[in-house]
Amino acid sequence: MSDRPSRNEEEYFALREAELHRERHRKAIGSHEDEERKAHFMKCPHCGAEMNTVSVDGITTDRCTECHGVFIEAEAADRLLQEKRETLHSIFKSMIRGVSSH
């Protein structure tokens, strides 16, 4: 019997090494994405300023403190259109007030 690893053993270790390499790569990318997400959390996608959470009649939106851009989740937007047209009107009125106060 030879001390050399068999072809199957070499293939096994090569595959294992490649798997570990991919896992390290995935973790590195994952931590980079986590850092990116943390850095952009509650920042305006338009100008980068802080966003404030504003809740009107159970509908939550995030509003930029600088450019007054508004973020609303799709589900909340759908609820506004389906059930709460008056709330939608109030939100838009408050947005316009915010802009005109500057």
> Which residues of the chain form contacts with Zn ion (CB under 5 A)?
44, 46-47, 49, 64, 66-67, 69
Cβ-based nearer residue to Zn ion, 33 or 66? 66
Q: Could you tell me the smallest distance in angstroms from the CB atom of residue 64 to Zn ion?
A: 3
Q: Could you tell me the smallest distance in angstroms from the CB atom of residue 54 to Zn ion?
A: 14
Of 89, 26, 87, 23, which is closest to residue 60 (Cα–Cα)? 87
DSSP code per residue over 28-57 = HHHHHHHHHHHHHTTB-TTT--BEEEEEET
Cβ-based nearer residue to Zn ion, 18 or 99? 99
Q: Could you tell me the smallest distance in angstroms from the CB atom of residue 46 to Zn ion?
A: 4
* Residue that the structure tokens 């790569």 belong to: 25
Cβ-based nearer residue to Zn ion, 32 or 46? 46
Q: Which residues pair with 62 in a beta bridge?
A: 53, 71
Cβ-based nearer residue to Zn ion, 14 or 42? 42
Q: Could you tell me the smallest distance in angstroms from the CB atom of residue 34 to Zn ion?
A: 23
Q: Which helix (H) or strand (E) holds 71?
A: strand 70-71
